[in-house]
Amino acid sequence: MSIADEEQIIKRRLQIDGEGVGDDRRINLLLRTFMRWCNENTANMQNQLSQQMALSEFSILKSEISEQMIDSELKNYKKVSDNIAEKIERVKCEIDESKKHLITAQEIRRNKLEYSSLARLIKEQPDRKEIIEKHEQLKAELIKQNEEFQKINRTLENRRKDFACFMMLANELLKDADFPDSQPSDAETIVDEDEIDEVENMIIE
């Protein structure tokens, strides 16, 4: 007897026995009824044997139907499991895509904030054209003031020279002048430098 035949016999016995618990072992009961029918070939024993065979066939049919139902349910469960796995993968892809969109949105928001800050900073700063115009005005004013300062310095220097010449000439005239009563001293003829500065300031003003 091959292994496949033994497996088929075991399968049939399990199908006939049902759950195989307690006294409900139908194959053993069928064998005992068959042995009794062989010893007592009566109508009653034949009916019992027929009933046991019918119950065994019903048990086999029930087991086959249950097996078919289980196989069908397993197929359904597999389909449901495959659908769930497919949905899970799709949701994972959507989550990954949402993460990418979130990262992109965060970068866009950060760039917008930086742009707004930079725009506000630029707006607070004066216009470049205005700065250049103001710089040119200040430069022109500085040049003008420098020219006026140089002009004043030249005028002052000329007046100092003229005044110095005037004082020298005055001293010479005082020395050459004839005063019979009194001769001016050197201290009187020499003009104080403070007086010269005071006269210069008066000239400048």
Of 119, 152, 171, which residue is a domain's last?
A: 119
- Angle (CA) 27-32-33 rounded to 5° is 95
| pLDDT tens string 107-122 | 999 999 998 888 888 7
**161 shares a domain with 76:** no
**133 shares a domain with 66:** no
- Give the residue carrying structure tokens 């760039």: 111
pTM of structure: 0.38
Q: What is the pLDDT of residue 196?
A: 54
Number of structural domains (the chain) is 2
The overall average pLDDT reported for the chain is 78
Whether residue 185 is predicted with pLDDT greater than 50 in this model: the reply is no
Query: Do residues 24 and 18 lie in contact, with contact meaning Cβ atoms separated by under 8 Å?
Result: yes
Domain that includes residue 87, residue range: 3-119
d(CA 90, CA 93): 5
**141 shares a domain with 102:** no
Category of 22 on φ-ψ map: left (φ > 0), alpha (ψ -120 to 50) or beta? left
| pLDDT tens string 162-172 | 888 888 888 88
Q: State the pLDDT confidence band at 188, using cuts at 50, 70 and 90.
A: very low
Q: What is the pLDDT of residue 14?
A: 59
CB atoms within 10 A of CB 157: 10
Category of 20 on φ-ψ map: left (φ > 0), alpha (ψ -120 to 50) or beta? left
| pLDDT tens string 49-108 | 788 778 778 877 888 898 899 999 999 999 999 999 999 999 999 999 999 999 999 999
Q: What is the DSSP letter of 154?
A: H
